[in-house]
Structure 1
Amino acid sequence: MSKKVLIADDEELVRSSLSRYIKNHCSSVDQIFEAGDGGTALELMIKNVPDIVILDVQMPVYTGIDVMRLSKESGLAPVFIILSGFNEFEYAQQAMHYGAREYIMKPVRAAELAALVNTFADGEESQKPESSEDNLSAISRSAAKFIDDHYSENISLSVVANKLGLSSSYLSTKFSQDMGMGFVDYVNKVRIEKACLYLKQGYYKVYEISEKVGFNDTKYFTKLFKKITGYTPKKFMQGEE
């Protein structure tokens, strides 16, 4: 079945080059619309009802997030792919809340974007407004981003779930499915990776690093570090990794 795509970006060169690439590499796409601002994007969505909408976060009139919100209020439910120059949890969280399927950092690789368009156009239906299943990738990436930014704090599953507006049980199950490991395992992995960086610097004592990466118990930190890396922190710091 043929699909319609809308590309909204205030940079004309980006917009036109992506449009050409998708036209040449996405056989199931038969119509491509372009918008240079959020207001035009919303008008084109209402008029043409595209199946896939590629939105820049920062645009005149309405931001990409605003367009998602307003389109949802209008009853439109396309597949949203967000383009952003902002690697911030807040933007990803808002995009996920309004149904983003993908959140891609600029500069965008046209081949990567075309592959996503083909995936959504050939194999998946447009989003249903109330379907959480459609947001699994965005949910997991947002949770992981929050962990990466707050690993040194007293972080927990319930804290992250609350930030994302999800139940702890739902986030736990979906995070494990998407990431291939449990929530606690991922937190520990991030913390130990950060600890390795501190140890290589050679500036801090083991107990100081333990505290810096979010552990209150140095003995537990040492035990976990050896379990994950195969070395004690002291051996690792001595360059025997």
Structure 2
Amino acid sequence: MKILIVDDEPLILKGLVKIVEEVAPVGSDICSAFNALEALETMKRFMPDVTITDINMPEKNGFELIQEARLEGLCDRFIILTGYDEFEYVRQALRSGVVDYLLKPLDKQEIAVLLNRVKEELPAASDSEYSRHAERILAYLQINYMNDLSLDHLAERMSLHPNYISSLFKKETGDTFVNYLNSLRIREAQKLLKTQPHLTVCAISRQVGFDTKHYFAKVFKKYAGTTPGAYREIQEEDKRNESDNGI
């Protein structure tokens, strides 16, 4: 299990890491970050199964970290830590859908129970149904990528827990659900841009599952390195060169 710990106070962070190392399930991989921005960058390469985060941090607080990480599909399980025993924090934590809310100083037994609970939600390497679930989900996406899809939609469709699907994606593809789906959509868009010159960029964006041309262009550039229009021009130029060369 991969665990990320986030706290902007170095001494506290060091202490948290030490405690988690002592009580985490055997074989856990533990990483740390000093603030939300560093945590988001760490998540992109580390892909944690659960993030333990402080609330009060500079630039972005813990709730903002949770919101952005979930939006980008980087992590969907969070344990919140704070030194403020106030109901408003508890209420915000519950609204954020966190695994739990803990007060500093950290209780070893409490965090041990929570981390073991998280591990139980993850797909086990020995799970005989794991491969079958993965095949079903990836096949479903291949056919339905153009539709409005989410982890909750998949969970309902496959009768599986969203957290299970999220973890399964990481293990099977090495990527998040959001990144995998966007990558699939952009590959299909590239095929259409190359083979269907009569279709407008706007029409293609809708055909592969994007609500707006603007968002499609933004995601396309992120994954393909250029805009849809520029990509089409490059493909047309290559075709003309092949034709001129008698290929």
TM-score by length of 1: 0.48
TM-score by length of 2: 0.47
